[in-house]
Amino acid sequence: MGPMRSILPLLIMASAFAQDAATEEQADKDRLVMATIEKLKNFDYANASPKVKDAVGRFLNANRGSKPYFDFLERFHVAEEGPKLLEFGISKVGTAEAGTAFKTLVNMGQVEAIKSAILAAAPDKFGLLLDTLAVSQSREAAAVILQVAQDPKASADQKSIAVRSLGKSRNGELVLLEAVQKNRLPAEGKLAASQVLNASADAAIQKAGSELLPMAQSADNKPLPPIAELLARKGDAANGHAVYARICIACHKAGDEGIDFGPALSEIGTKLPKEAIYTAILDPNAAISFGFEGFEVKTTKGDSYIGMIASETDDELALKVPGGVIVKTPKADVASKTKLPISLMTPGLARAVTEQEFVDLVEYLSSLKKK
Ligand code: HEC
């Protein structure tokens, strides 16, 4: 064993001590800077000296997620910390710390950043992020959730999820009610809004909501209860099949039964949970199935057809119209082809069934599983 070998660990230890002493000294200085800032009424981080900014940066890095960290940001909105705080909140989504992170971001005015992060989130995180934002129950957070529901980039599904997230707090319900009153809620969010407002525990909100967005009526001439209540009931699938055969086979195939116009429902119980089946029937416009969008075709002869595009070539446009019939028009005779903003599925079908029949129908549909 040479002398160097025995000395090396000592050297390493010595330098570690020196470093410790240096960081200790640095930490002391930082504490002093932070204590001074704490005492200031209006500390302007943006115009602080680089030394002060460094000290603040080290403090925030070392304490991210702690109470002093959040307290500091609530008092002095350090805009530069926004992205890291957002990242922190997203990584802890669903926890109380994430709720505090989002609340702090809202108070710091970093609304756009939160909104784009939520809109870009994976489908399994989207609702969770909104609910984490809703945790603070503040009006400001609710306003951000409403903005997500109103965003033109949001899908119909995302809009409904955002509206349901507003139902997690009283302030959320109030923000939602106001949007409905001012007609600022996109059509795709209306069914969810009617569900949220009609189920509010606040009598005034419930009343205002039920007047603006009444629950769909059933054939027994009474408004349907919210979907959450229907979901808790068990239906009779055999009776549901009878209802299906009475109304839905005009446009849907299940197995060999029915007309091939709307999407086949043979495996709908695998594709959609019960809640989504209720939504599809109560509000066909909420989410229009891909490939089943409606079009209106006008011909030069003055005819007008409504249906979905079955095929289109340079010479001919084929439209599948309700009843499953294909109407072919030579391209030369097509005067216009306009995409319809609404579903080809009849709205208000719930009015054709009683409340119990509706529960039975959905029980039947959810039993149609992939084999
Ligand atoms: C006039 C024709 C018509 C009638 C009647 C009709 N539907 Fe539809 N349905 C459609 C069309 C077209 C679509 C696809 C467009 C859309 O998603 O809105 C559709 C979509 C659906 C979907 C979504 C399917 C998917 O794969 O996402 C469900 C569920 C559904 N219908 C159930 C029913 C039930 C249950 C009834 C009877 C109470 C019914 N429909 C009656 C035309 C109809």
pLDDT digits (tens, 9 = 90+) for 219-266: 887 888 889 899 999 999 999 999 999 999 989 999 888 889 999 999
Q: Give the Å distance between the CA of 20 and the centre of ligand 1.
A: 70
Please choose, from the candidates 191, 181, 231, the residue with its C-alpha nearest in 3D space to the C-alpha of residue 214.
191
pTM of full prediction above 0.85: no
**Which atom of ligand 1 is found nearest the CA of 247?**
37
| Residue at 102: amino acid letter | F
Q: Give the Å distance between the CA of 180 and the centre of ligand 1.
A: 27
pLDDT in tens, 77-97: 899 999 999 999 999 998 888
Q: Give the Å distance between the CA of 269 and the centre of ligand 1.
A: 14
pLDDT at residue number 9: 54
**Which residues have any ligand 1 atom within 6 Å of their CB?**
247-248, 250-252, 261-263, 268, 271, 277, 280-281, 284, 288-289, 292, 322, 343-346, 349, 361, 365
> How far is 158 from 154, CA to CA, in rounded Å?
6
Residue 38 Cα distances to 34, 51, 71, 168, 280, angstroms: 6, 16, 10, 35, 55
**Residue with CA closest to ligand 1 atom 22:** 280
**Best of 345, 349, 357, 362 to mutate for ligand 1, by most ligand atoms within 8 A of CB?**
345
Q: Give the Å distance between the CA of 323 and the centre of ligand 1.
A: 13
Tokens of 245: 């055969």
> How far is 157 from 17, CA to CA, in rounded Å?
58
- Is residue 10 over pLDDT 50? yes
DSSP, residue by residue, 337-365: EEE-SS-SSPTTGGGGS-HHHHHHHHHHH
- 296 Cβ contact partners less than 8 Å away, ≥ 6 residues apart: 304, 305, 306, 336, 337, 338, 340
Mean pLDDT of the chain, nearest integer: 89
pLDDT band with cut points at 50, 70 and 90 for residue 309: very high
Tokens of 360: 């039975």
> How far is 365 from 245, CA to CA, in rounded Å?
12
Higher pLDDT, 172 or 44: 172
pLDDT at residue number 5: 54
- How far separated are the first and last CA of the chain, in Å rounded? 74
**Residue with CA closest to ligand 1 atom 7:** 345
**Residue with CA closest to ligand 1 atom 8:** 345
Find the Cα–Cα–Cα–Cα dihedral 153, 156, 159, 163, rounded to 10°: 170
**Which atom of ligand 1 is found nearest the CA of 276?**
29
Q: Give the Å distance between the CA of 298 and the centre of ligand 1.
A: 24
